[in-house]
Chains A and B, each alone.
Chain A
Amino acid sequence: MGNQVRGRGLSCYYLGVGFMGRPNPSTAEAALLEDGRVEVRCGVAELGQKLEVTLRMLAAAELEVPVDRVVLVHRETDLAPNSGVTAASRQTYISGGAILKAVQELKSRILDEASEVLESGPEGLVYDQGNVVADGPSRQEVSLVEIARSCQRRGRSLSSRVTYNPPVELKVDPETGYGKPYASYSVGVTEVEVEVDLDTGQVTVSDIVCITDVGKAIFPKSVEGQIQGGAAMGLGYALMEDAAVREGRVSITGFHDYLVPTSLDVPAIRGIIHETPDPHGPFGARGFGELTVLGVAPAVLAAIKKATGVRLRNLPVTPERVYAALRKQESLQSEKEVNR
């Protein structure tokens, strides 16, 4: 093979979660269904990040029930309240928080209903794994299914609705920028290894490691998916994707002239999950879905410098650019030698 050199490079980066300097709330509802399952309604968008799984897990964890006892309704304006946009890494953090609060409120209504079913004062009642338990000399227990039936008999329904914004005042001075722009941040570090072909300028990324602090990984498998998918998108951004606009016209027409990474371009990507809890995120979770795109491009630039001595500062790092920079470096070096 050609005249190849290797180098490693690292980048460190962060991202403010949600929109800057203003509240961006989400509304969620929770209701006890007739069969004892709990329906959570919140207008979030499933886009492949598997919010449909994560948010059900989050609600089920609070209810202490299996995940299939939670139904998520989110796709229709008639059925689900406004969660705000599914973007800016904000849904697990903000809508997750709204859902958590709605479920907590529902639980307190469930306790009230249980006190009637059990004919016991609310003080001795404890919510425990999908049951309400009256602790006393005669331990009594009533399940969510029984509570739902009781509601039906009495012609009642138990539900809650919460509009939630993380309890942090966000304000940024319009002139100086002074203030608190975001309630939460997430942080990542990426290290890559590149192979640079000195004859052609071709750069291949042979290894990617991403440390991503997500606060709390509710659904680790999807966290890994977001890390790996984001890193692949970052690799495309660094090396090959270019929607150049010339004379006001986008130059791309399809996947033959807009090159996105294929299975041959993306190396093994190791995602390492860190969990520095966020004080307001549900179970400590932070928003991080976008964060994973940030690291690869700067790490690739650092790795190319390490491998070749050439410092590039324009994206994308096409073979043409690398080749030109390598030749320029060579001619500078030979000039130096001549001058010596």
Chain B
Amino acid sequence: MLKTINLTVNGKTITTEVESSHTLLHFLREGLGLTGAKEGCNEGNCGACTVLMDGHPVNSCLVLAVEADGAHVTTVEGLAEGERLHPLQEAFIDRGAVQCGYCTPGMLLSAKALLDEFEAPTEKQIREALAGNLCRCTGYVKIIEAVSEAARRLRSAAARDPSADVTVAAGSRPEAPSLFPDPAPAERDHAVPRVTGELRFTDDLRLTDTAWGKVLRSPHPHALIRRIDPAEAEKLDGVLAVVTARDIPGQNLYGILFNDQPVLADAKVRFVGEPVAAVAAVSPEIAERALGLIKVEYDPLPAVLSPQEGLSPGASLVHQGGNVMMHKKVQIGDVDRGFDKADVIVEEEFTTHWVDHAYLEPDCAIASPTEDGLEILAPCQHIHHVQEVVAAALAMEPRQVKVIQMPTGGAFGGRIALVAQHIVALLAYKARRRVKLKYSRTETMTATVKRHPCVHQYKVGARADGTLTALRARILADTGAYSAHGPIVVGKMAVCAMGPYHVPNVQVDCFGVYTNNPVAGAMRGFGMPQTAVAHEGIMDLLADKLGMDPVALRVKNALEVGKPILTGIPLTESLGVVEALQAAVAERGERRG
């Protein structure tokens, strides 16, 4: 039902009709083209859609447009006065508070509401005011500094104190003359479009003649696909294309080291959420309805739900070649003799868990047919990899597929692998139309890769003085249904298993095991955040048993020039391990002093 509302947006009075079910966020983005407010979750949890309503910050995804009748609304586009940025925007740039930029508009508006109320907010007040705005890049430190700095500048401006314009950089080291030029112009190029809302992420683009994509996903962790019948869906009015594996003219399988993952599942599905088919239609609603009309018949298979299960005799096979995706070994010296020489031996098992990248910008990709190929617009971490996979799937030359990295609202490894780009390309190719494929927050969290959960069994021997003599480690990593970046993770966990310490006798067995769990792939650190828990945990246990100071134990075994790394080659250049440990001790003294 349409309703007429009167409101003021960024100082402009507007009288318009809105659909009574539409949110304020929808009205701002679709009705007014103000895309500074972001649709990060659509359920009021992330704060990326924050705007001010009569001066108060609201999640505009939780407010109906009709509720804004009579209100004064401020969006990020209304913060600057012409070319003159708001002091908050300036402080965000100067303090380095802008990273990917996706949370920035909402963050700025929550901060503005705070500064409108309090001239000199405390750090606690700032933290509380920003608690509803998630940021995945900055750790909030520089954002909090920036808000405090903006408050100071506003106070000084009010007092007409010219010294207010001078900013003192919050560096962590003394400012020496730098080799490098003043970064300010480049910083502004990066940050200004992010603080004004001018920067367009993929979902912010308003392109003409765009069809909508949706993906049908497997409800089973492991099942044979007996039949896929898209006929009913294809007949639905407004449906432009339905794609299944059969529509892929080129290579369906892709991967990093092993091409084992299909763009769309054909013979069987290997995890819940695996793409099976996709639809392009004139509206998202029709695309959604069409998904329900695609008939897929499955024969469920026993599922492998853990790496331990995957390794057990008689386990169901996720892939024909066996469930061991990779077994990476390190065998240096003589590990048994190493333990014989030990005065103390410690043993422990550590477990690490499934983790999501949780980048704030939900996945979105747009593909448009070009004269001889396709153009793809999407956030990603490697344009040439997207080009390679899509070209192979569509049996095209790479040059026919043009990939443009759109501003990317965080990635952290989650956007190395293809997320939506290959599926939208296939839809645009078949429909011969521009297609946009946008994932909801839930789809972004459930359909994408995760950090490998691992079991780390560590046994370490040392002499009474703390010198490490041997390491035996068995690491079991759940790589999920497909290899993706699993081989890189497994390899890194093996060769860096003991951290920055020298151990002369080593036996490491690191297994990446296929299961019918979600795909574990690349995530910031490639297995090292898991490994660090194990090698530091075992070092602490050893320090306890030896009655030795944990720092002294680490210094004693630190990798230094001339000492071999885990894989047997002596280090030729310092890594600064001892210096870093000493600095931590010095800093501790300062903090306690």
A322 adjacent to chain B (CB < 8 Å): no
A88–B413 CA distance with the chains assembled, in angstroms = 8
Are A262 and B532 also in contact (CB < 8 A) when A48-B100, A87-B416 are? no
Q: Report the interface size for chain B: residues with CB under 8 A from the other chain.
A: 139
CB pair A77–B536 under 8 Å, yes or no, is: no
CB of A294 to closest CB in B, whole Å = 4
Shortest distance from the beta carbon of B469 to any chain A beta carbon, whole Å: 19
Contact at A177–B583, with CB atoms within 8 Å? no
Q: Is B134's beta carbon under 8 Å from chain A?
A: yes
- Chain B residues whose CB sits within 8 angstroms of the CB of A186 once the complex forms: 575
Query: C-beta contact mask, B527-568 vs A, less than 8 Å → 1, else 0?
Result: 011001101110011000000001100100011000000111
- A255-B358, A262-B131 as given contacts; A176 in contact with B332, CB under 8 Å: yes
User: Is the CB of A10 closer than 8 A to any CB of chain B?
Assistant: yes
Residues of B within 8 A of A185 (CB): 500, 575
Contact A220 B575 (CB under 8 A): no
- Pair B579/A263 contact, Cβ less than 8 Å: no
Given the known interface contacts A207-B591, A220-B173, A248-B516, the answer about A16 and B492 at a Cβ–Cβ threshold of 8 Å is yes
- Given A12-B536, A13-B528, 13 other A-B contacts at CB below 8 A? A12-B554, A47-B410, A74-B405, A75-B406, A172-B495, A176-B568, A187-B500, A228-B140, A232-B139, A233-B136, A242-B355, A255-B46, A291-B528
Min CB distance, B13 to chain A, in Å?
Answer: 35
Q: Say yes or no: A13 contacts B500, CB within 8 Å.
A: yes
Q: Would you give the 0/1 interface string for B273-285, flagging 1 where the beta carbon is closer than 8 Å to chain A?
A: 1000000000000
Q: Are B183 and A45 in contact (CB under 8 A)?
A: no
- Check B525 against A294 for contact (C-beta < 8 Å): yes
Q: How far is the CA of A239 from the CA of B352 in the complex (A)?
A: 12
Instruction: Of the listed stretches A136-144, A264-272, A324-332, name the one at the interface; the rest are far from the partner chain.
Output: A264-272
User: Among A53-61, A99-107, A145-153, which stretch is in contact with chain B?
Assistant: A53-61
Whether A14 and B541, one on each chain, are in contact in the complex, defined by CB atoms closer than 8 angstroms, is no
B193 CB to nearest chain A CB (Å):
11
Q: Is the CB of B186 within 8 A of A248?
A: no
Q: Are B446 and A290 in contact (CB under 8 A)?
A: no
CB distance from B555 to the nearest CB of A (A): 9
B-contacting residues of A (Cβ < 8 Å)? 8, 10-16, 19-21, 43, 45-50, 52-53, 56-58, 60-61, 65-68, 70, 74-78, 80, 82-88, 172, 175-181, 185-191, 207, 209, 211, 213, 218-222, 224-225, 228-234, 237, 241-245, 247-250, 252-256, 258, 260-264, 266, 268-274, 276, 278-279, 283, 289-291, 293-295, 297-299, 301-302, 305, 311, 313-316
Shortest distance between the CB of A270 and any CB in chain B (Å): 7
Q: Can you name 11 A-B residue pairings with CB atoms under 8 Å?
A: A76-B383, A85-B381, A248-B271, A248-B272, A249-B221, A255-B41, A256-B45, A263-B130, A269-B141, A273-B172, A290-B524
- A48-B45 in contact given A15-B496, A228-B142, A241-B356 (Cβ < 8 Å): no
In the assembly, what is the distance between CA of A221 and CA of B329, in Å? 39
Compute how far the CA of A37 lies from the CA of B402 in the bound complex, rounded to whole angstroms. Answer: 27
Instruction: Tell me the chain B residues, 557-593 only, with Cβ under 8 Å from chain A.
Output: 558-559, 566-569, 573-577, 579-581, 583-584, 587-588, 591
Say yes or no: A264 contacts B528, CB within 8 Å: no
- Pick from A177, A237, A254: contact of B567, CB below 8 A: A177
| Interface flag for B491 (CB, 8 Å) | yes
Whether a CB of chain A sits under 8 angstroms from the CB of B21 is no
Scoring A179, A189, A207 by chain B CB atoms within 10 A of each residue's CB, the highest score goes to: A189
Instruction: Report the 3 A-B pairs with minimum CB-CB distance, sorted nearest first.
Output: A248-B221, A48-B100, A232-B139
B474 lies within 8 A of chain A by Cβ? no
- A28 CB, min distance to chain B CBs, angstroms: 13
B576 lies within 8 A of A178 (CB): no
Q: Determine the chain A residues whose CB is within 8 A of the CB of B575 once the complex forms.
A: 14, 185-187, 213, 276
- Which of A68, A85, A191 gathers the greatest number of chain B CB atoms within 10 Å? A85
B580 touches A189 (CB 8 A): yes
Q: B329: which of A175, A220, A263, A299 is its contact (CB, 8 Å)?
A: A175
Are A52 and B190 neighbours in the complex by a CB distance under 8 Å?
Answer: yes
In whole angstroms, how far apart are the Cα atoms of A189 and B575 in the complex?
Answer: 12
In angstroms, Cα B580 to Cα A244, docked, is 35
Given contacts A82-B384, A254-B445, contact A260 B358 (CB under 8 A): yes
Contacts of B328 in A (CB 8 A): 177
Residues of A within 8 A of B551 (CB): 10
Asked if B259 is at the interface (CB within 8 A of a chain A CB), the reply is no
Across the interface, B332 reaches (CB within 8 A) one of A16, A53, A178, A261, namely A178
The reply to whether A45 and B380 contact each other, CB–CB distance below 8 Å, is yes
A85: chain B residues at CB < 8 Å are 381-382, 385, 416
- B181 contacts A by Cβ under 8 Å: yes
Closest beta carbon of chain B to A23's beta carbon, Å: 14
CB closest residue in chain A, given B455: A314
Bound CA–CA A177/B130 (angstroms): 48
Hey, which chain A residues are within 8 Å of B331, CB to CB? 175-177
Instruction: Assess whether B524 is in contact with A67, with CB atoms less than 8 Å apart.
Output: no
Q: Given known contacts A248-B271, A248-B303, is B134 in contact with A243 (CB within 8 Å)?
A: no
Query: From residue A113, how far is it (CB to closest CB) to chain B in Å?
Result: 23
**In the complex the two chains form, is B525's CB within 8 Å of A219's CB?**
no
| B488 sits at the interface (CB 8 A) | yes
Chain B residue at minimum C-beta to C-beta distance from A223: B172
Q: Are B587 and A209 in contact (CB under 8 A)?
A: yes
Asked if B179 CB lies within 8 Å of chain A CBs, one says yes
Shortest C-beta distance, A214 to chain B (Å), equals 10
Inter-subunit contact A56/B186 (CB<8 Å): yes
Q: B494 to nearest A CB, angstroms? A: 6
Contact at A313–B349, with CB atoms within 8 Å?
Answer: yes
Q: B508 at the A/B interface (Cβ < 8 Å)?
A: yes
Q: Assess A241 versus B183: contact at CB under 8 Å? Given A48-B100, A271-B172.
A: no
Which of B126, B143, B358, B383 interacts with A43 by CB under 8 Å?
B383
Specify which chain A residues have a CB less than 8 angstroms from the CB of B576 in the assembled complex.
Answer: 187, 213, 274, 276
B404 touching A278, Cβ below 8 Å:
no
Known: A48-B408, A258-B358, A262-B134. A178 touches B329 (CB 8 A): no
* A residues in contact with B37, CB < 8 Å: none
Q: CB-CB contacts of B384-420 with A at 8 A, as 1s and 0s?
A: 1101000000000010011111111111110110000
B429 at interface by CB-CB < 8 Å: no
A-facing mask of B141-154, CB < 8 A → 1, else 0?
11110000000000
Q: Are B584 and A191 in contact (CB under 8 A)?
A: yes
- The CA of A172 and the CA of B535, in the complex, are separated in Å by 22
- Report Cα–Cα, A315/B353, bound state, in Å: 6
Residues of A within 8 A of B303 (CB): 247-248
Within 8 A of A (CB), among B248-274: 271-273
Question: What residue in chain B is nearest A64 (Cβ atoms)?
Answer: B181
Q: How far is the CA of A178 from the CA of B587 in the complex (A)?
A: 37
Distance from B339 Cβ to chain A, minimum over Cβ atoms (Å): 19
> B181 touching A60 by the CB < 8 A rule?
yes
Interchain nearest-CB distance for B209 vs A (Å): 22
Decide yes or no whether B461 CB sits under 8 A from chain A.
no
**Least distance between A15 CB and chain B CB atoms (Å):** 5
Decide: B41 and A225 in contact? CB cutoff 8 A.
no
A228-B142, A229-B138, A247-B305 as given contacts; A21 in contact with B491, CB under 8 Å: yes
Contact assessment for A45 and B580 in the assembled complex, using a CB-CB cutoff below 8 Å? no
The answer to whether residues A268 and B141 also contact, given A53-B186, A66-B181, A254-B445 and a CB cut-off of 8 A, is: yes
For B450, the chain A residues whose CB sits under 8 A away are 243, 245, 250
Query: Closest CB of chain B to A64's CB: distance in Å?
Result: 8
A295 (CB) vs chain B CBs: closest residue: B532
Neighbouring B residues of A13 by C-beta, 8 Å:
499-500, 528, 532, 535-536
B356 and A256 form a contact (CB under 8 A) = no
Q: A15-B528, A221-B96, A315-B533 are in contact. Are A86 and B355 (CB under 8 A)?
A: no
A273 to B170, CA, bound (A): 13
